[in-house]
Amino acid sequence: MDIKVVPIEKPDDMNFIMGHSHFIKTVEDLYESIIQNVPGIKFGISFCEASGKCLVRFTGNDEKLTEIAKKNADSIAAGHTFFIFMENAFPINILNAVKAVPEVCRVYCATANPTEVIIAETEQGRAVLGVVDGFSPKGIEGEVDVEWRKNLLRELGYKQ
């Protein structure tokens, strides 16, 4: 078995969700769930089929985002993983809808951070062992940091 680190390739500020599902219908059901929950969202979805033809399946409503999703699925190449790259929304806007899709088994990450995927590769195929989402903490927040965090959440409309 080989262990590999594969970076997610995307623009620095672009949000995405990476998860694991179990059926070829994943791309259609994710599409429907996203489009019904966030009007105006732009997104691309890809899914690594793990049986049959073993193709990267894809859909979306934005060609650029769909291409980014396809490229990352092809580089990760771990069976039954899916990727959703988005604009005009944040993962928090669709995360519960994504998790409610019957094919979805788990979500590995939902982030705009630089992300590395830890892959195990065997003779049979690849598996996701985990993800490195962003950077390690550099300390514990102080009072000024707490105030900044609360103000940011108010600016973004998440707190009153």
Residue 118 lies in a domain: yes
How many helices and strands in the chain, by DSSP H and E? 4, 8
Q: Which domain holds residue 7?
A: 2-155
Residue 81 lies in a domain: yes
pLDDT at 130: 97
Task: Indicate which CATH number applies to the domain containing 80.
Answer: 3.40.1520.10
- Strand-pair partners of 46: 58, 83
Residue 100 lies in a domain: yes
For the chain, which ranges sit under pLDDT 50?
A: none
pLDDT at 140: 97
- Strand-pair partners of 21: 104
What is the dihedral angle through the alpha carbons of 34, 127, 3, 75, rounded to the nearest 10 degrees? Answer: -50
pLDDT at 157: 84
Residue 115 lies in a domain: yes
Residue 94 lies in a domain: yes
Residue 160 lies in a domain: no
Q: Kindly report, residue by residue over 39-56, the tens digit of the pLDDT.
A: 899 999 999 999 999 999
- pTM (2 decimals)? 0.93
pLDDT at 138: 95
